[in-house]
Amino acid sequence: MSDSPDRLELYADYVCPFCYLGTRSLEQYREDRDEPLVIDWRPFDLRSGKRNPDGSIDHEADDGKDEQYFEQAKQNVRRLQDEYGVEMAQILATEVDSLPAQQASWYVKQEYPEQWAAFDEAIYEALWKDERDIGDIDVLADLAEDVDLPVAEIESAIDDDGLRTELEDRFQAAQRRGITGVPTFIYDEHVARGAVPPAQLERLVDGAEQGAQR
């Protein structure tokens, strides 16, 4: 048996309210879990189909999401807020671009892995609890400073074209793997999609472990 901790892959995009809710469910599961569980964050861009060549978002592009879609999404977010006991200052963040935040987060994950979880949490809370624009480099610099990351490095990472290309490659790799929406949780090739409850995450991980032991 391996002595290394269990590892759960999580595909997510900061502007997805269900990703925020999914991380709250995941936190509840991890609190009740006896053994450590490493979270391997994998970036995903929900707005990839609406991006211009320069990376900006074309908000007029038709992505098939109409008023009925967004109203249903709001209802689902409110239901899960109640179910998981999560307070949110806003329900949707359709005008916010998460790419700068994802680029900063990806840099931190590579260069400062011990501080990544705190930075990840700070980004989510800034958007969903404090209604701050995580597409703003000044906001991200503040968050980096709050978790003792080198601000100048984070600002440079956000403007790094090579890092953006690397991130875009990751987005494409996710699509090739069959990831079409977020959050998506993967444990030992077993998959759970959406902001699933803690009990389902427990079945995902523990069920896969029990199957492997047979």
The DSSP annotation for the chain comes to ---SPEEEEEEE-TT-HHHHHHHHHHHHHHHH-SS-EEEEEEE--TTGGGB-TTS-B-TTS--S--HHHHHHHHHHHHHHHHHHT---S-S--TT---HHHHHHHHHHHHH-HHHHHHHHHHHHHHHHTT---TT-HHHHHHHHHHTT--HHHHHHHHT-HHHHHHHHHHHHHHHHTT--SS-EEEETTEEEESS--HHHHHHHHHHHHHHHH-
Q: Burial of 75 by CB count in 10 Å (0-12 exposed, 13-18 middle, 19+ buried)?
A: exposed
Residue 115 structure tokens? 């501080």
For residue 182, being part of any structural domain is answered with yes
Nearest alpha-carbon partner for 103 in 119, 90, 115, 118: 119
Per-residue pLDDT at 175 = 94
Q: pTM of the entire structure?
A: 0.93
CA 104 centroid distance within chain: 13
Contact 27, 34 (CB under 8 A): no
Per-residue pLDDT at 106 = 98
For residue 175, being part of any structural domain is answered with yes
Per-residue pLDDT at 1 = 44
For residue 98, being part of any structural domain is answered with yes
For residue 1, being part of any structural domain is answered with no
Start-to-end Cα distance in the chain: 13
For residue 17, being part of any structural domain is answered with yes
Residues 6+ apart with CB under 8 A from 131: 89, 90
Give the residue numbers spanning the domain of 11. Answer: 6-49+64-213
Residue 187: how many other CB atoms lie within 10 Å: 20
Each residue's pLDDT expressed in tens, for the chain with a length of 214 residues:
456 789 999 999 999 999 999 999 999 999 999 999 999 999 999 999 899 988 889 988 888 889 999 999 999 999 999 999 999 999 999 999 999 999 999 999 999 999 999 999 999 999 999 999 999 999 999 999 999 999 999 999 999 999 999 999 999 999 999 999 999 999 999 999 999 999 999 999 987 665 554 4
Give the alpha-carbon dihedral of 202, 21, 193, 48, to 10 degrees.
-150
For residue 59, being part of any structural domain is answered with no
For residue 55, being part of any structural domain is answered with no
CA 203 centroid distance within chain: 21
Domain count, the chain: 1
Per-residue pLDDT at 64 = 85
CATH assignment of the domain containing 98: 3.40.30.10
Per-residue pLDDT at 31 = 95
Per-residue pLDDT at 212 = 53
